[in-house]
Amino acid sequence: MVTISFFRFSGFLDKWWAFTQMGIARLSTKEIKGLRFVKLLGSGGLTGFGSWPNWTVYSLLCVWESQEAQENFFNKNLFFLGFIKRSIAHQNIFLQSISAHGTWDGQQPFETSKHKSDGKIAVITRGKIKLSKLWTFWQFVSPASNDMQGKEGMIFCIGVGELPLIQQATFSIWESTELMTKYAYHSKQHLEVIKKTRELGWYEEELFARFEVLKIEGNWK
């Protein structure tokens, strides 16, 4: 089971508190039973894909060994409940892995299955950018990422990451596999980014994963 939670903060003190959690998240989640993989991620400015951080929105990505472990964390863990308490809006998105290619910090956290979804799907793309390619990367990718906004079939899309500029990920939800594929293979800007990725070798590490959206909870608008 995979979950990704988003939290929106308002006011200097709560924004500062959320930012400080980026530095202690690994220690706070290290001994949680049944938690196989976890990342606390910041977000980009503007539409979520700017090179400057958005100090308002953070996300927590988790991979669980069981539903029981996930429920215990959501209901009892003080680290997680602190985010719920201090945020002005949040949403928990529950996912089932469909396919995954590549690695994240040297490991593949998501399972690959033969499962097919007829409903909403989510996609995570993540890359660790080579320092020598930063300038070229942001010249091409930022306009293409912003072009995703408002595309047919897109429900939600945001740029997130562990480190500004260098470790970047995109999380999106689509009405169907067909509409997501239509964007991926027919958007001129997206196809240009794929071409440049192959030509210029921007990434030290890449990952692409697809999920079925099981349910979404929370008060996020």
pLDDT in tens, 59-108: 999 999 999 999 999 999 999 999 999 999 999 999 999 999 999 999 99
For residue range 172-188, what is the model confidence (pLDDT) as tens digits? 999 999 998 888 776 66
Question: Mean per-residue pLDDT for 203-215?
Answer: 92
Q: Which fold has domain 2-216?
A: Alpha-Beta Plaits (3.30.70)
What pLDDT shows up at residue 168? 83
Q: Where are the domains of the chain?
A: 2-216
Residue 49: the pLDDT is 60
Query: pTM for the full model?
Result: 0.89
* pLDDT at residue 149, rounded to an integer: 66
Q: Is the pLDDT of residue 167 over 70?
A: yes
pLDDT band at 51 (very low <50, low <70, confident <90, very high): low
**Residues whose CB is less than 8 angstroms from the CB of residue 98 and which lie 6 or more positions away in sequence, other chains included:** 112, 113, 115, 116, 117, 121, 210, 211, 212
Find the helix or strand (DSSP H, E) in which 214 lies.
strand 203-218
Q: Please state, in angstroms and rounded to a whole number, the distance separating the CA atoms of residues 204 and 188.
A: 25
